[in-house]
Amino acid sequence: MEWFFLTLRYVFTAIPFVFAALFALVGFWMVIATASRVTAGAWMVGMAFLIETAFVSAPFIPVGIQLTSNDLAFALLAAALVMRVLFFEFPHRRAVYGIWLAFGGVLLASLAVGLVEFGSAAGVEARPNFYFWMAGLYFASFTYSPDVLKKLWRIAQWTAWLVVLVAVYRWVGLKYGFVSEGLVKWAGASSEFRVIGSNPTFFLAVVGAAYFAMWLRDSKMTALVVAIFMLGMVVVLQHRSVWVAAIGAFAIVAWHERSAVSAKAFPILGMGLVLAGLMAGLIAFNPTNRVTETIATSATSVTASEGTHMDRLLGWQVLLRDFSHAGPKEWVLGNPYGTGYERWVQGHFKDYSPHNFYIQLLLRVGTVGLLMFLWVHYYLRRGVRESLQANSADTTLSSVLLAILVANLLYFIPYQGFYLQGAFYGVLIGYLAANARTVSVFSGMTPGYKMAESK
């Protein structure tokens, strides 16, 4: 039997090396796929987003260093981007791509100074902003045909429905005890219905706005049902700032599709009356219903003199006051990452992030970095509006893109940008750079998961 144990010894000794080799081969294949096909990169970013949603925050990977699932995904994206520059035909870009590069340069310079002064704390603080910028840089390196845009929309649909599945699982789990209440509290929830964060809730809102635009165009009842369902999810998840962003997105779609809205005025009015009637009925016949109770509490707490919104507002005032007392160098370039956001608000010490993307950029990359980002946003908005005017016969795609741009601006007031938003900016940069005519990306869609292939 000595030969048997000797064989086992060799097998168990070889297992770690085999796994390491397989991991390297799989990683290399993923880099090649991501460098050559933007849909592969979209799936990678979507999976990272779903993992983060499922675990509340990106889980750490046990490799001996503080490496998260998001770190791994964006390391692969960075490697793919380098490979695209070296070995693939890099498409011609407009000036906006250079501004996005310059924006990243200011961000990386702030990070470099912060690493020297504050060590790893600078990396932790800069991580979300770096993901935001890197996602935009990667997706902006591709051009987008109508067929590719349809495939990206299909990936967005899958991702949205899987986010819904996570939320429903947690609601059911809290009800029947197989999901810990501590998980929801750890996520910062103010009620048992706020089971996922603001980022996935915002994603559901913009997907709902896209379905609403599709219903206005094609009059398919399934698209309307999905739009109402996504909007209902956003309401029940009770992120009030996302409510504002969702209202902005739906309003922009309705404005740019106002001819279709006027033609469907009675169905839209009827839909609003039905929803209001259902809500009133739930409150009247079951005033202790937890869903309506918590929604009403969330809505009315906006006018309260205390709460998270007031705490953030007062914090913004303190941070901006301190920034105004800094020198010209800080005004132009900001303070490096790792400086922190310590402040005293009404006698209480606070050190969490500003919960405002504009203020965060101002503090870390100064007026130069903030103006660069706003210029990119303005340029993209102008490009989409020009596309809308050039193809007035089919406005669905342009309406959705403008709606997401407006929703982003509103969302950045109470939250910082996240990488799916950065990916959207990148796709828009690549799409407009190709001088593509606005096309009906949503035509031929069945509001499940499948999309009709473009002819």
Q: Where are the alpha helices (DSSP H) in 88-220?
A: 95-118, 120-139, 146-176, 181-186, 198-218
- The pLDDT score that the predictor gives to residue 345 is 78
pLDDT of 124 strictly over 50? yes
pLDDT one-digit tens code per residue, 367-378: 999 999 999 999
pLDDT one-digit tens code per residue, 174-206: 888 887 777 666 555 556 778 888 999 999 999
Q: Where are the alpha helices (DSSP H) in 238-345?
A: 240-256, 258-263, 265-285, 290-300, 308-324, 328-333
Domain stops at, among 69, 90, 111: 90
- The pLDDT score that the predictor gives to residue 267 is 73
Residue 184 and residue 162 share a domain: yes
Residue 196 and residue 144 share a domain: yes
Q: Residue 7's CB: how many other CB atoms inside 10 A? A: 10
Provide the whole-model pTM: 0.86
Point out the least confidently predicted range of 173-187, 242-256, 282-296, 405-419.
282-296
Q: Judge whether 299 lies within some domain.
A: yes
State residue 184 phi and psi, 5-degree precision. -70, -40
Q: Judge whether 19 lies within some domain.
A: no
Residue 207 and residue 285 share a domain: yes
Q: To which residue do tokens 């929703």 refer?
A: 407
pLDDT one-digit tens code per residue, 51-109: 999 888 888 776 656 788 898 899 899 999 888 887 766 555 667 888 999 999 999 99
Q: Residue 98's CB: how many other CB atoms inside 10 A? A: 10
d(CA 218, CA 148): 21
Residue 295 and residue 157 share a domain: yes
Full residue range of the structural domain in which residue 86 is found: 27-90
Angle at the Cα of 309 from the Cα atoms of 305 and 311, rounded to 5 degrees = 80
pLDDT of 380 strictly over 60? yes
d(CA 82, CA 74): 12
pLDDT one-digit tens code per residue, 31-50: 788 888 999 999 999 999 99
pLDDT of 448 strictly over 80? no
Domain stops at, among 51, 75, 90: 90
For residue 180, give both structure tokens: 């810990």
Residue 122 and residue 51 share a domain: no
The fraction of the chain above a pLDDT of 70, given in percent, is: 75
Point out the least confidently predicted range of 87-91, 155-159, 269-273, 423-427.
87-91
Q: Judge whether 144 lies within some domain.
A: yes
Residue 44, C-beta contacts closer than 8 angstroms, at least 6 positions apart:
30, 34, 73, 76, 77
Residue 152 and residue 119 share a domain: yes
Residue 128 and residue 81 share a domain: no
pLDDT band for 441, please (50, 70, 90 cuts): very low
The fraction of the chain above a pLDDT of 90, given in percent, is: 36
Greatest CA span in the chain, whole angstroms? 85
- The pLDDT score that the predictor gives to residue 392 is 59
pLDDT band for 294, please (50, 70, 90 cuts): low
State residue 379 phi and psi, 5-degree precision. -60, -45
- The pLDDT score that the predictor gives to residue 146 is 84
- The pLDDT score that the predictor gives to residue 154 is 95
- If one compares 308 and 50, the residue with the highest pLDDT of the two is 50
Domain total in the chain: 2
